[in-house]
Chain A
């Protein structure tokens, strides 16, 4: 059933326009794509909301990526992101138009903004979803991770409306930009009775790239206690260097001072999403595996074939971690020389 731009179709799926960090942050476009799929199944329109100042370029983008309607509140007084202000605006709009479903990207902002909207509306919200679907009854089925991604839960909001979810960036793929797409743009004035923000932003500095090295690395060489000693652990740095990657460590390693706290890959440390992860001597405690769910391809080296990490890996190498590391270094040097 093709998505209808018919204005008489009352049902709608809304996507919050999280346009900050636009080039890196594509989650709104990803959600518009998914919303389009879901809307087709329940005969609904796809709408986007944009709050801020001088935001027309995003309005255009959202229409080009699937929105049939965009609600815009453009005012210099709301030019900076503010959780409470935007939540009030969202609630105001939702109460007027009663969307069936509201989706928000699970950015840091989204994960603070959406719960407030849901609470103000006394409706249900599922956090950090990795899956959205419609079941036979037309309910939104929200799949969310628990225990660091070691479990998945399927959640529904049976009665309350709208059904809300924050969705993890990267789960869905955006529809390519459609230059010919058209949509309606509804511009609204800032309501006069909007409560004044009680949280004041004093300053916001864009993070220096350097600190995100581990999170953005395409290759991560991670070591655990199985490396055996500080001396051996250091070999991982050489391997990482040859591969142009970064070194990560598990919690016991950081406590033993074989690596610094900033190398900690874990629930209480950094979350990584490399294309290739090499895990040396790591057993795979959930505090660590929670932080590597984004890895595309995992090679685990451990002399214990039954270790959890070995089961999670794409390639499980049953061998001594340090010796394998040294052999890899030798082999790489040969290949890279040529």
Chain B
């Protein structure tokens, strides 16, 4: 019953506050601060943060439901919230010292500052080992230099986590994660990217030029970068899967509605077997994806290792989002291609879910490794 009530509450909020503007903010690439303002007291920015730090302390399925329902109405905001919660905040919750948690969690959970996680660079996408941003110890601080690109929430994040090389000679244990407050001298935000989808999210580059960061802002130990990054991405994948599901669900509902109303050859197109087959496949896929996701969520909450399952959920849900939204456009025919209808936005938004937080190819690597290393 709890999950049902959470779903209904988030859905009501999303439809009321984001429903009427989702189309416009996508067109204008505008980040709706006025809605963020309303989300803050409702714990949207501290979904899995313990109560003592001002969060909602939700279980992972409730978290997934929240992201799904937000994304169903406005994927760009769903993205903002999931990136903030999973990769922007979760590492601090898991690897931070009590002091770091005290300094950052209340502000992050309250939405006072928005979080983000920066690995990707011009030469480092799937290959995190190609990261060139480096941090050099200087007295009691680190000097960080480098450029991060395609940072979700980039233009608005207050304390992004920066993945930087600290020991260039080491292969695996050479990177660390730093909490870099945007007020730090030497920190600059680049232009907001002009993207195909998720346009209301202010994705941008971040420039660090001789950025001096106190050693108290090092997350975990020197060399923990890879460990933290992988843990963050495992959780992040659940959020992205949820986001993809939300987009797919919205596209699917639009397709059902349209096929009941649209008449061709003197009947509703929903009476044609072709359309029915498409809708049946869409419904089944979405359900299967949701179950994959909830399974991974349950494993996470049970403290079982869940990397492979999270990767499966992310892989499957993002793939189905692209497919289902494409089908939805197809079912809408010419109208589906027009901005007068929402389906083309779902189609544009869906694609990137197969790319960020680990491309589908990387997800397959993770799953294959798990399959091959399991005792047979």
Residue contact A256 to B20, C-beta cutoff 8 Å = yes
Taking the complex as formed, is B52 at the interface, i.e. its CB lies under 8 A from any CB of chain A?
Answer: no
Most chain A CB neighbours (cut-off 10 Å) among B19, B20, B261, B268: B20
- Given the interface pairs A304-B261, A305-B261, A306-B260, the reply to whether A228 lies near B17 with Cβ below 8 Å is no
- Chain A contact residues, majority secondary structure: loop
> Would you list which residues of chain A between 280 and 328 have a CB under 8 Å from chain B?
303-307
Q: B16: which A residues are within 8 A, CB to CB?
A: 255
Distance of A306 Cα from B263 Cα, bound (Å): 8
Q: A306: which B residues are within 8 A, CB to CB?
A: 260-263, 268
Taking the complex as formed, is B99 at the interface, i.e. its CB lies under 8 A from any CB of chain A?
Answer: no
Residue contact A252 to B20, C-beta cutoff 8 Å = yes
Residue contact A228 to B340, C-beta cutoff 8 Å = yes
Residue contact B263 to A305, C-beta cutoff 8 Å = yes
Taking the complex as formed, is A229 at the interface, i.e. its CB lies under 8 A from any CB of chain B?
Answer: yes
Number of interface residues of B (CB under 8 A): 12
Measured CB to CB, the nearest residue on chain B to A230 is B24
Measured CB to CB, the nearest residue on chain A to B335 is A303
> Least Cβ distance of B151 to chain A in Å?
29
Taking the complex as formed, is B21 at the interface, i.e. its CB lies under 8 A from any CB of chain A?
Answer: yes
> Would you list which residues of chain A between 222 and 264 have a CB under 8 Å from chain B?
225, 228-229, 252-253, 255-256, 258
> Would you list which residues of chain A between 33 and 77 have a CB under 8 Å from chain B?
none
Residue contact A256 to B261, C-beta cutoff 8 Å = no
From A225, A303, A304, contact of B20 by CB (8 A): A225
Distance of A255 Cα from B260 Cα, bound (Å): 28
> Would you list which residues of chain A between 134 and 164 have a CB under 8 Å from chain B?
none
Residue contact A253 to B20, C-beta cutoff 8 Å = yes
Residue contact A229 to B19, C-beta cutoff 8 Å = no
Most chain B CB neighbours (cut-off 10 Å) among A225, A255, A307: A255
Residue contact B17 to A255, C-beta cutoff 8 Å = yes
Measured CB to CB, the nearest residue on chain A to B24 is A229
Distance of A306 Cα from B269 Cα, bound (Å): 12
> Least Cβ distance of A263 to chain B in Å?
14
> Least Cβ distance of B73 to chain A in Å?
11
Measured CB to CB, the nearest residue on chain B to A251 is B16
> Least Cβ distance of B22 to chain A in Å?
10
- Chain B contact residues, majority secondary structure: mixed
Distance of A229 Cα from B24 Cα, bound (Å): 8
Q: B17: which A residues are within 8 A, CB to CB?
A: 255
Distance of A242 Cα from B340 Cα, bound (Å): 28
> Least Cβ distance of B21 to chain A in Å?
6
Q: A303: which B residues are within 8 A, CB to CB?
A: 340
Measured CB to CB, the nearest residue on chain B to A307 is B261
> Least Cβ distance of A303 to chain B in Å?
8
Contact with B along A198-212 (1 / 0, CB 8 A): 000000000000000
From B19, B24, B262, contact of A255 by CB (8 A): B19
Measured CB to CB, the nearest residue on chain A to B22 is A256
> Would you list which residues of chain B between 252 and 283 have a CB under 8 Å from chain A?
260-263, 268
> Would you list which residues of chain B between 1 and 60 have a CB under 8 Å from chain A?
16-17, 19-21, 24
Q: B262: which A residues are within 8 A, CB to CB?
A: 306
Measured CB to CB, the nearest residue on chain A to B21 is A256
> Least Cβ distance of B254 to chain A in Å?
12
Residue contact B20 to A255, C-beta cutoff 8 Å = yes
Contact with A along B316-338 (1 / 0, CB 8 A): 00000000000000000000000
Distance of A228 Cα from B24 Cα, bound (Å): 9
Distance of A256 Cα from B21 Cα, bound (Å): 6
Q: A307: which B residues are within 8 A, CB to CB?
A: 261
> Least Cβ distance of A332 to chain B in Å?
25
Measured CB to CB, the nearest residue on chain A to B260 is A306
Contact with A along B220-242 (1 / 0, CB 8 A): 00000000000000000000000
> Least Cβ distance of B49 to chain A in Å?
29
Most chain B CB neighbours (cut-off 10 Å) among A228, A256, A258, A303: A256
Distance of A222 Cα from B197 Cα, bound (Å): 32
> Least Cβ distance of A226 to chain B in Å?
9
Distance of A74 Cα from B58 Cα, bound (Å): 65
Distance of A253 Cα from B262 Cα, bound (Å): 25
Q: B340: which A residues are within 8 A, CB to CB?
A: 228, 303
Distance of A151 Cα from B263 Cα, bound (Å): 27
Q: B261: which A residues are within 8 A, CB to CB?
A: 304-307
Q: B263: which A residues are within 8 A, CB to CB?
A: 305-306
> Least Cβ distance of B36 to chain A in Å?
16
> Least Cβ distance of A6 to chain B in Å?
60
Q: A253: which B residues are within 8 A, CB to CB?
A: 20
Q: B21: which A residues are within 8 A, CB to CB?
A: 256
Distance of A255 Cα from B32 Cα, bound (Å): 14
> Would you list which residues of chain B between 120 and 157 have a CB under 8 Å from chain A?
none
Distance of A252 Cα from B20 Cα, bound (Å): 6
Residue contact B260 to A252, C-beta cutoff 8 Å = no
Measured CB to CB, the nearest residue on chain A to B262 is A306
Residue contact A252 to B24, C-beta cutoff 8 Å = no
Measured CB to CB, the nearest residue on chain A to B19 is A252
Q: A228: which B residues are within 8 A, CB to CB?
A: 340
> Least Cβ distance of B44 to chain A in Å?
18
Q: A305: which B residues are within 8 A, CB to CB?
A: 261, 263
> Least Cβ distance of A126 to chain B in Å?
32
Measured CB to CB, the nearest residue on chain A to B15 is A252
> Least Cβ distance of B242 to chain A in Å?
25
Q: B19: which A residues are within 8 A, CB to CB?
A: 252, 255
> Would you list which residues of chain A between 107 and 143 have a CB under 8 Å from chain B?
none
> Least Cβ distance of B341 to chain A in Å?
10
Q: A252: which B residues are within 8 A, CB to CB?
A: 19-20
Distance of A255 Cα from B13 Cα, bound (Å): 11
Distance of A225 Cα from B21 Cα, bound (Å): 10
Distance of A228 Cα from B340 Cα, bound (Å): 7
Most chain A CB neighbours (cut-off 10 Å) among B21, B24, B261, B263: B261
9 additional A-B residue pairs with CB within 8 Å, beyond A305-B263, A306-B263: A228-B340, A229-B24, A252-B20, A253-B20, A255-B16, A255-B19, A304-B261, A306-B261, A306-B268
24 contacts between A and B (CB under 8 A): A225-B20, A228-B340, A229-B24, A252-B19, A252-B20, A253-B20, A255-B16, A255-B17, A255-B19, A255-B20, A256-B20, A256-B21, A256-B24, A258-B20, A303-B340, A304-B261, A305-B261, A305-B263, A306-B260, A306-B261, A306-B262, A306-B263, A306-B268, A307-B261
The 4 A-B pairs with the shortest beta carbon distances in the complex, nearest first, are A306-B261, A256-B20, A252-B20, A255-B20
Contact residues of B with A, CB < 8 Å? Answer: 16-17, 19-21, 24, 260-263, 268, 340
